[in-house]
Structure 1
Amino acid sequence: MKIKKTEFGIIDQQIVYEYILSNSNGLSLSVITYGGIITKIIMPDKTGKLEEITTNMTTLDEIVKARPFHGSIVGPVAGRISNARYKEDEEVIELVKNESSNTLHGGPTGLDTKIWDADTMELDNEIQLQLTTELPDGENGFPGNVKVKVTYTLNEADEVSIHYEANTNKKTLFNPTNHVYFNLTGDYHETVYDHELQINSNQYAPLKEDNMPTGELKAVKDTPFDLREGKRLETVILNKNEEISSRNGLDHPFLLDHSTSEPSVKLTHNGSGRVVEVETDSEAIVVYTHNKAQESETGKDRSLGEHTGVTLETQQLPDAVNLENFGSVWLEPGHPFESTTTFKFSLMD
C-alpha cells in the first residue's frame, strides 16, 4: 500500500494538495485538501482494466467556481434547512440563505470550502488520510466553534471508509455527509441507467415542490421508491411518478433498515462487473441521480451530462431539526459526534 502527495492547485495563496492512496489490488482513492474532496476513485473492471468510477470537475478553479459538491465533505448540516432557521429552546437561530429561502449544505461557506490540514498514517493492511478543520462560532449563523476531523481509510480488503468526528463548545447542529458520485461504467459520458440500485429501506421521505421533506415517512411498498430487491436505475429515473419526473430523477431521502445483516445500499453494473456496497451507522441516505448537467470550462469533453452519476449521501434525515420524528442532529459540548460510512468495492461472481 502506498500514499502519494502532489500539488493540485492554489487558492488564496495556499497550496491545495492531492493525496492518492493505493492498495495492491489496483484500487485507489484520491482526495484534495480543499473541501476534503474525493477527486477520483479508480478500480479494475472484470477484465482487469483500471478506470475512474467517480465523476468530478477537472481543475481546482472549476471546483471553486462551480461548487458542484462532487466528492466533497458536506456540512455542518447536509441537505436543506427550511426557511434557514431553527429553534433552540425558545430562541430562533437565523442561518444564511443560499438556496431560495433555505440553507443548503451548511450555507455559502460549508466544510466543502475549507482548506483542511492533513496527516497520513500507514499501517500493515490499511492507510489513512486524516483531515482536520474548524468552523468558527457564528459562521453562516451556526453557533459554536466546531472542531471537525474526517479520516479516509483504504485497506487491502478493497474498502474505503469515511469516519467523521466533531466537538463543539456551544450547542449546535451537525449532520455531515460525502457527496461522491459513482459511475461504474468507467466512462463519465455514459449515464447510470444500466446500473442496478438496491436500498435496504422500508420508508422514504416525500418532498414538497421546493425539495423540502413534507415531514412524512411513507412505505416504499408498491411505489417506484421500493428498491429493496434492486431496480435498474433507468426504470426509476425515467418513472412517470410525479415526485420523480418533476425532478428529472431521484433526489430523495430513504430511512435505512438496520435490523438486517444486508448492506445498507448496493450499486451494481453488469457490463463492467463492478459492485459498490455501502455500510453505515447513519439512519438515512439521500439518493441524487445528477438530474442537471454540469458544464466544464475545460471543454465539452469534461462536461458531465444529466444522469451520469449517482450519489449516495449517508446522513440523518434532512431538516430533522425542524421536523418531529426525523431524528436528532444536535451536537452538544461534552458529547462528541462520531459516524462511519464504508464503501466496499468488488467484482461480480
Structure 2
Amino acid sequence: MNVLKRCVFGLSLLSLAAVSVQCKSDKKADTEKVATEGKDLVSIEKSEYGTTAKGEKVESYKLKNQNGMEVDIITFGGRITDLKVPNKEGVSENVVIGFNSLAQYEKENPFFGALIGRYGNRIAKGKFSLDGKEYQLAINNAPNALHGGPQGYFNVVWKADEVKSGENASLKLSYVSKDMEEGYPGTLKVFVTYTLTNDNQLEVLYEATTDKKTVVNLTQHSYFNLSGDFTKTILDHELTLNADKLVPVDATLIPTGKLEDVAGTPFDFRTPKLIGKDINAKNEQLERGKGYDHCWVLNNPEKGKTIIAKVYHEPSGRVMEMTTDEPGIQFYSGNFLDGTLPTRDGKTYAHRTGLCLETEHYPDSPNQKNFPTTVLNPGENYKTKTTFKFSVKK
C-alpha cells in the first residue's frame, strides 16, 4: 500500500513538472511570436544619388525584405536602377539593366527602368483629337510620338514619400504634369507607388487625376535579364503570355487597327516557349519590329489575379510572374540594344541582353476608335496596378 502511494505521488510530481515545462514552452513561443510580430520584415533606406544638370537633387531609396529581394529606385524618372532576387542556390543578383551614374541616365537612352507617361507607347504622327480639337505632340520617334515625348515622365524628378508597415515597404512618388506639357492638355496629378512585400513581390500602383479632358497611359519600362549576367542574351528565357491576339503594326510600328490571332505564328506564347525559338522566323511583323516589339491583347478574366505573363530562366531557376488590370502588354526583346551603352562593370549592353514587359492600353489608342479608351475626364480617377512576383524553380 505504501509502495502504491509513493508511485501515485511520484506520478503526480511528474505530471506537475510536465505542465510546468509546457507552460514555460508556451510562454517562450508566445514571447517569440510577439517579437516576430513587432519586427518589420521590410526596410527602406534613403541616400543621395546625385544632382541633375538643372541643379535638382536626386535621391535613391532601397526597399529590402528578409527573403533576399532588394529594389533600388531613384527619384529621377522614378527609375528602378537595381532589382536583386535570389537564384535557386540562394544567391541574390541584380536582374535589371541600369547605369552607374545619374549623368548616364540623363543622356538619351532607351528608358532604362523608367516610369513612362503621359502616354506609354506610340501615337501616330504625334497627333490626336479630343472634342474636335487637335493636339500636336513632340515627335521623338519619327514620324511618331513615343513614351510621352523627349521630356516625358522618365526625364523629370519626382517627389517621394516612404510608407512602411510590417510586411510591406512602399515608396509613393508624385509629379504634377502641367497643362500642355509635351503637348498634352490638362494638368495631371500623377502618383506611382512601388510596394515590396516580404514574399518577393513588387507592386506598381498608378493613379492620376486631371482638370481637363486628356489621354493617359502609364507604364514601367524595366529591362529584365533573369540570368543576372548582362553579357548573356535573353533568348534562353522561357516566356508565357496569356494572350490569343496581337495588335499588328505598320512599317512605323503604329497599329493597323486590326487584331490578329497568334495561333500558328511566331507570336504564340500561350504555352511556354524560348524567346529565341522563333525570333528570327520569316515574318513581316517580326521584320518590322526587328524582333518582338508588339502589344498582345491579354486574356484577363480576373483582372489583377490572373497570371498574364511568366518568364523562366532555367539555369538560374528564377521565375517572374505578372498580374495586371490593363488590357494589353508590350513585349520588347531588346532589339535596339547595340553595344553602345555602358554596363555597371565597364562592358556594354549588347543586342537582346534585356527584355521589357510593359502593361498598358494599346498603342495609338487615341486615334483608334475600336480600342479601349485612354481618355481621362475631370472628376474621374485613373487607377491601375501591375505586380511582379519572383520565385525560384529548382
* 2:334 is aligned with 1:290: yes
Conserved 8 A contact 1:62-1:296? no
Superposition pairs of residues 65-84 of structure 1, within 5 angstroms: 65-84=107-126
1:193 aligns to 2:238 (yes or no):
no
1:157 Cα offset (Å): 1.4
The structure with the larger Rg is 2
| Residue in structure 1 matched with residue 357 of structure 2 by the alignment | 312
Q: How far has the Cα of 1:297 moved from its partner?
A: 5.4
Q: Give matches, 1:275-286, under 5 Å.
A: 275-286=319-330
Residue equivalent to 1:322: 367
Q: Deviations over 1:68-93 (max 9, x none)?
A: 20110000000010011111122112
Preserved contact between residue 109 and residue 140 of structure 1 (Cα < 8 Å): yes
Q: Contact 1:79 / 1:318 at 8 angstroms: preserved in 2?
A: yes
1:258 corresponds in structure 2 to: 300
Is structure 2 residue 47 aligned with structure 1 residue 2? no
Q: Which consecutive residues of structure 1, in runs of 5 or more, have no partner in the other structure?
A: none
Give 3-state SS (helix, strand or coil) of 1:67's partner. coil
Count of residue pairs the alignment pairs up: 349
| Segment of structure 1 superposing worse, 328-337 or 59-68 | 59-68
Gaps of 5+ in 2: 1-41
Structure-1 separation of matches of 2:287 and 2:47: 42
CA–CA distance in structure 2, aligned partners of residues 302 and 3 of structure 1: 30
Which moves more between the two structures, 301-310 or 222-231? 301-310
| TM-superposed deviation, 1:343 | 0.3
Moved more, 337-346 or 292-301: 292-301
- Counting strand residues as a fraction of each chain, which structure ranks higher? 1
Partner of 1:98: 140
Superposition deviation, residue 298 in structure 1: 7.4
- The partner residue of 1:271 within 305, 315, 323 is 315
- Give the whole-Å Cα distance in 2 for the aligned partners of 1:337 and 1:246: 32
Identity %: 37
If the length of structure 2 is used for normalisation, what is the TM-score?
0.86
> Which residue of the partner structure matches residue 150 of structure 1?
192
- The one of 91, 95, 109 equivalent to 1:49 is 91
In structure 1, the residue corresponding to 2:107 is in which secondary structure? helix
Give the letter for the 1:50 counterpart: S
- 1:16–1:34 CA contact under 8 A, matched in 2: yes
Separation in structure 1 between the aligned mates of residue 278 and residue 164 of structure 2, nearest angstrom? 41
Distance 1:110 1:24, change over 3 A: same
TM-score relative to the length of structure 1: 0.97
Counterpart contact for 2:98–2:343, Cα < 8 Å: no
Find 1:223's aligned residue among 265, 275, 286.
Answer: 265
For residue 263 of structure 1, what is the amino acid of its counterpart?
I
Structure 1 or 2: larger helix share? 2
Paired AA for residue 309 in structure 1: G
**Two-structure CA RMSD over aligned residues (Å):** 1.4
SS for the counterpart of 1:101 is: coil
| Contact 1:55/1:181 (<8 A) preserved | yes
Matched with 1:346 is 391
Structure 1 residue 125 and structure 2 residue 164: aligned?
no
User: Within 1, Cα distance between the matches of 2:175 and 2:149?
Assistant: 16
Contact 2:244 2:297 in 1 (8 A): yes
Deviation at 1:309, TM superposition (A): 0.7
The ranges of structure 1 where at least 4 consecutive aligned residues each deviate by more than 4 angstroms after the TM superposition are 297-300
Moved more, 208-217 or 52-61: 52-61
Q: 1:302 to 1:15 in 2, by over 3 A?
A: farther
Q: Could you list the per-position Cα deviations for residues 161-209 of structure 1 after superposition, in whole angstroms to 9, with x for gaps in the alignment?
A: 0000001000001001000111000101100111000000010011111
Q: d(CA) in 2 for partners of 1:173 and 1:284?
A: 16
Residues of 1 paired with 2:390 and 2:373: CA distance?
31
Shift of 1:245: 3.4
Match of 1:138 in 2: 180
